Structure 1
Amino acid sequence: MGTPKQDAIARELGVDRQLVKGGEQAEIARRIGFIKGVLSNSGCKSLVLGISGGVDSLTAGRLCQLAVEQLREEGQQAQFIAVRLPYKAQADESDAQASLAFIQADLTTTVNIADCVEGLMANVAIEGLQPSDGLVDFTKGNVKARSRMVAQYAIANFTNGLVVGTDHAAEALMGFFTKFGDGACDLAPLSGLCKSQVRMLAAALGAPHNLVFKAPTADLEELVPGKLDEESYGCTYEEIDNYLLGNSVPAAATEIIERAFAKTAHKRALPRVPE
């Protein structure tokens, strides 16, 4: 058990502290069942997910593919569409291609978001405002994330589909996602998992070791290309996971985590409405 605050946050984010090595197959089956249920009940026929080359989209993608295969075996129409969404050329494209090879999606397509991002950024201007290079770069990173989601929803429209997200408890805790960007989706099959648990499921699914344990990066900032998530956080995924799992965490990391959770509360909430 952790502190009362740790326990409350873990409950809010749906963390299962009992999920440990040995329970992977049951958890995989449970999450595949969740995906099947959402798709079946929606009346839609496809699942759409952007594949980045990281362990989160790799794991969610394989779960989706297994789910649609089971649905087809049960006589339902279902397909999984994996989408590559590079901005110009992606530095770790080989990892993205290795992820696709592992996932074995029914369909794979690529949408390069560069024109969309550059076009929008070139036309956004506010009289008298001269943002710093850093703020422009940060904003452009969010535009990239939102452009990727626009593309996925367009594909979902064309294929009577639902868009799948890759959010999990560690990213939710830190608010490390773009609001209405990678945080926008119709279902989030990794929700409630710590980063180590995502990796555990990925390994149990048979994913390549180098992808399972690849250092995560959103790679949205051009001034700091390939910036690791942990550099942005100021603490490690191990510390974040330990916080969620109720284990002891250094005071400095605890302060960073709890400050990030409070600051990003708006990202995890529905739009506010008049009471």
Structure 2
Amino acid sequence: MTDIVHKDHLTEQTNIIRTLGAKPEIEPASEFIRRADFLRALLIETKRKCFVLGISGGVDSLVAGLIAQRAVVQAREERYQAKFVAMRLPYGDQRDEADAQRALKFIQPDEVLTVNIKKPSDEMLLSLKHGGTFFDTAGQEDFVHGNIKARQRMIAQYAVAGREEGLVIGTDHAAEALMGFFTKHGDGACDVTPLAGLNKRQVRAIARSCGAEETLAMKVPTADLESLVPMKPDELAFGISYHEIDDFLEGKQVSSQAYDVIIRQYRATAHKRRLPITLPGL
């Protein structure tokens, strides 16, 4: 019976890895160049003029920003008008603002715009309450407010992209996609995901290969959307570590507890990875 269960686990793990396009290993420097080339070609093919990306201070937006900046520099070398607009989108005063500024300094984007999302996010929550929306607990309200923040950030990025005739870059990668750790129509809303297929340790490896300082490459990941639990680490929300998630994506055996958490979360968040549901047969 144990062997049968193990084979079932292995089959499901293999199918998920294939679906998410994950690879057991990469060559970081080559992968960086390949993904920058992809963005450059996409910009030219779609006749867009810029990329827009929110820089949070985390390693994901750092690497995505580095890829975007290289892509537009290459496009300009081919005499194609292109630029990279990096956006700071804090909610009030961001606790790790210094990290975000270090990331921007390292990326050296063509343009930096700062839009504070606190007022519109708070106003939306207040409007919901005035409209008759009630929350059972403070935690439930905080969770909804956090998703409003994530979606407000994308409103700002798409507004800039509309003005600049650009494409919005997302920072989703295989580890986050596996766990469904993104806000639907929030940070999950974008035009292109240059980190797709990578696990977390591979994103970190690319950051290191580009020369990023270790404090940025190895920074503890946090979405920092919940005011009641500020700077809450992703791994605390998961209940397992990125190390275990990355091992799963690399086809390695993980503990039964980690496997169960991953599969449960993957199934529960399937709706986030799909297009809107339609009537059967359409």
SS of structure 1 residue aligned to 2:237: helix
Q: Which residue of structure 2 lines up, in the alignment, with residue 244 of structure 1?
A: 249
CA offset digits 1:117-137 (Å, max 9, x no partner): 011000003647343101000
Q: Indicate yes or no: 2:118 matched with 1:111.
A: no
Output the CA distance in 1 between the equivalents of 2:135 and 2:200: 38
**Match of residue 53 from structure 1:** 57
**Partner SS state of residue 3, structure 1:** helix
Alignment partners' CA distance in 1, 2:63 and 2:78: 23
Aligned to 1:9: 16
Offset at residue 63 of structure 1 (A):
0.5
Deviation of 1:43 (Å): 1.1
**Counterpart pick for 1:209 among 186, 206, 214:** 214
- Measured in 1, the distance between the counterparts of 2:25 and 2:54 equals 30
Which residue identity does 1:15 align to in structure 2?
A: A
**Structure 1 stretch 190-199 or stretch 24-33: which is displaced more?**
24-33
- 1:30 matched to which residue of 2? 34
What amino acid is aligned across from residue 102 of structure 1 in structure 2? F
Which of these residues, 177, 202, 206, is aligned with residue 182 of structure 2?
A: 177
CA distance in structure 2 between the partners assigned to 1:128 and 1:165 by the alignment? 30
Q: Which amino acid aligns with 1:268?
A: R
SS in 2 for 1:82: strand
Distance 1:106 1:16 in 2: 32
Residues 64 and 171 of structure 2 are in contact (CA less than 8 Å); yes or no, is this contact kept in structure 1? yes
> Among residues 231, 244, 250, which one is paired with 2:236 in the alignment?
231
> Using the alignment, how far apart are the partners of 2:155 and 2:138 within structure 1?
25
> Which amino acid counterpart does residue 12 of structure 2 have in structure 1?
K
| Equivalent position SS for 1:167 | coil
* Counterpart residue type for residue 215 of structure 1: V
1:273 to 2:278 alignment: yes
CA deviations over 1:17-57 (Å, ceiling 9, x no partner): 242xxx22221111011111111111110000000000000
Q: CA distance change for structure 1 residues 11 and 100 in 2, over 3 Å: closer, same or farther?
A: same
Counterpart of 1:136 (choices 134, 141, 151) is 141
Extract structure 1 runs of 4+ deviating beyond 4 A. none
Gaps of 5+ in 1: none
Letter in 2 for 1:11: R
Kept in 1, the 8 Å contact 2:22–2:199? The answer is yes
Does the residue aligned with 2:24 lie in a helix, a strand or coil? coil
Provide the rounded CA distance (Å) in 2 between the counterparts of 1:45 and 1:246.
39
Q: How much does 1:4 deviate?
A: 1.1
Q: AA paired with 1:121?
A: L
The one-character-per-residue Cα deviations of 1:139-158 (angstroms, maximum 9, x if unpaired) are 00000000000000000011
Give the share of equivalent positions with the same residue, in percent. 50
TM-score of the superposed pair, with normalisation by structure 2: 0.94
Q: Secondary structure at the match of 2:34?
A: helix
1:256 aligns with 2:261: yes
Distance 1:128 1:269, change over 3 A: closer
* CA shift digits 1:202-258 (9 cap, x unpaired): 111111111000010001011111100000000000000001111111111110011
Asked if the contact 2:23–2:249 (Cα under 8 Å) also holds between the matched residues in 1, the reply is no
When normalised by structure 1's length, the TM-score is: 0.97
Residue type of the partner of 1:31? R
Q: Does 1:199 align with 2:204?
A: yes
RMSD: 1.3
Return the alpha-carbon distance in structure 2 between the equivalents of residues 123 and 28 of structure 1: 44
Cα distance 1:105–1:130, how it changes in 2: closer, same or farther (>3 A)?
closer
Q: Which runs of 5+ in 2 are unaligned?
A: 1-6
> What is aligned with 2:105?
101
Aligned length: 272
